[in-house]
Chains A and B, each alone.
Chain A
C-alpha cells in the first residue's frame, strides 16, 4: 500500500467483511430444526400408513384436514431448512464468485419450486 493513498482505513475494508446476515441465518436454521424435530417423526410414521392403501389411501390421507395442515408445515419447514443448509455448503466449497452466486440462486429456485408444488398438491386435494 502506498503512502499517497487518500482512501480512509474504513473505505479500504468496506465490502470485504460479512454480509451482516450470519446471525439471522444461524437462528433461522435452528428454529426450523426445532420445528422439524416434531414434524418429521409424525410425517414419517403417518406417511407409511398413507402409502399402504395405494392411490386411494394416499388421496384420503392428504384430504384429511389435520394431515393437510401438518404436511404443509412439514414441507415448508423442511424446504426452508434445506435451503439454508445447502446455502452454507455452497458458500463453504465454491470459492468462484460467479459459480457460487449461480448455485445460490439455483438453490433458492429449486426450494421455492418444490414448496409451491407441494402446497398446490396438498391444497388441491384438501380443498375439493
Chain B
C-alpha cells in the first residue's frame, strides 16, 4: 500500500497519459510563450541599440548576423508564428467554439504545420535565406 491517505481524487499525472495532439499543442503554446519572452528582450535590445548609437548597434548586429544568431532568429520567428496561430485557436475556445475532439485535434495539427510554413515563407520571401530572394527585397533598402 502507498502512504497516500488523502481520499480526494488526484489530478491525473502526465506520465499515465498517452501523448496526443491537443496536449502537445497546449504544451507548445506555453513553451513558445516563454521563448517569445526572451525574444521580446532581444527586440528591446535592438531598439535600445538603435537609440544608443552605432557603437551599440554594430556589435549586436554582428551577433544576430552570425550563424547562431540567425538560427535563434529563425527559432524566434517560428515561435511567434506558432504562438499567434495557437492563440487565435484559444480565443475561439474561449468563445465556446471548436471543442469537438476530432476538430480540436485536426486544428492542432493544422496549426503546427501552418506555423512552420509561415515561418519558412517569411524567411524565403524576405530574402533572409542566403541566395534566395524572389521579391528582390535585399536590393531595396
Contact = CB atoms under 8 A, between A and B. Distances in A.
Whether chain B is bound by chain A comes out as yes
A70 interface: no
Contacts of B50: 55, 58-59, 62, 121, 125
Contacts of A30: 91, 94
Contacts of A79: 40
A33 interface: yes
Interface string B39-65: 011011011101110100110010000
A19 interface: no
B138 interface: yes
A33 B37 contact: no
B88 interface: yes
Contacts, number: 90
Interface of B: 30, 33-34, 36-37, 40-41, 43-44, 46-48, 50-52, 54, 57-58, 61, 77, 80, 84, 87-88, 90-91, 94, 122, 126, 128, 137-138, 140-141
17 contacts: A30-B94, A33-B87, A37-B88, A47-B43, A48-B137, A49-B137, A51-B61, A52-B141, A55-B57, A79-B40, A85-B33, A86-B37, A114-B44, A117-B48, A120-B48, A121-B47, A121-B52
